[in-house]
Amino acid sequence: MKRNSYKSVPIQSSEITPENIYMNRRLFMKAAGTAGLSTLLAACGVQPSDTSETPSVTEIPATGLEAGAATDELGDPLTSYKDVTNYNNFYEFTTSKTDVASLSKDFVSSPWTIEIGGLVNNPKTYGVDDLLTRFTQEERIYRLRCVEAWSMVIPWTGFELAALLDEVEPLASAKYVAFTSLLDPDQMPGQNSAFYPWPYTEGLRLDEAYHDLTILATGLYGKPMPAPNGAPIRLVVPWKYGFKSIKSIVKIGLTDTQPATLWNTISPREYGFYSNVNPEVNHPRWSQATERRIGETGRRETLMFNGYTEEVADLYAGMSLTSNY
Ligand SMILES: Nc1nc2c(c(=O)[nH]1)N[C@H]1C(S)=C(S)[C@@H](COP(=O)(O)O)O[C@H]1N2
Ligand SMILES: [Mo]
Over 80: is that where the pLDDT of 308 sits? yes
Confidence band of 22 (pLDDT split at 50, 70, 90) = confident
Residue-range domains of the chain with CATH:
13-316 (3.90.420.10)
Range with the poorest average pLDDT among 14-23, 55-64, 223-232, 288-297: 55-64
| Residue 31 Cα to ligand 1 middle (Å) | 35
Over 70: is that where the pLDDT of 52 sits? no
Over 70: is that where the pLDDT of 306 sits? yes
Residue 157, beta-bridge partner list? 139, 219
Nearest residue (CA) to ligand 1, atom 20? 229
Nearest residue (CA) to ligand 1, atom 5? 90
Over 50: is that where the pLDDT of 46 sits? no
pLDDT given at position 30: 63
Confidence band of 7 (pLDDT split at 50, 70, 90) = very low
Q: Regarding predicted confidence, which is higher, 38 or 311?
A: 311
Calpha distance 230→228 (Å, rounded): 6
* 109 pocket-lining for ligand 1 (C-beta < 6 Å): no
Cα distances (Å, whole numbers) of residue 112 to 13, 29, 127, 242, 281: 34, 30, 6, 23, 38
Over 60: is that where the pLDDT of 76 sits? yes
DSSP-assigned letters across all residues of 121-184: SS-EEEEHHHHHHHS--EEEEEEEE-TTSEEEEEEEEEEEHHHHHHHH-B-TT--EEEEEE---
| Residue 195 Cα to ligand 1 middle (Å) | 17
Over 80: is that where the pLDDT of 279 sits? yes
* 240 pocket-lining for ligand 1 (C-beta < 6 Å): no
| Global pTM exceeds 0.85 | yes
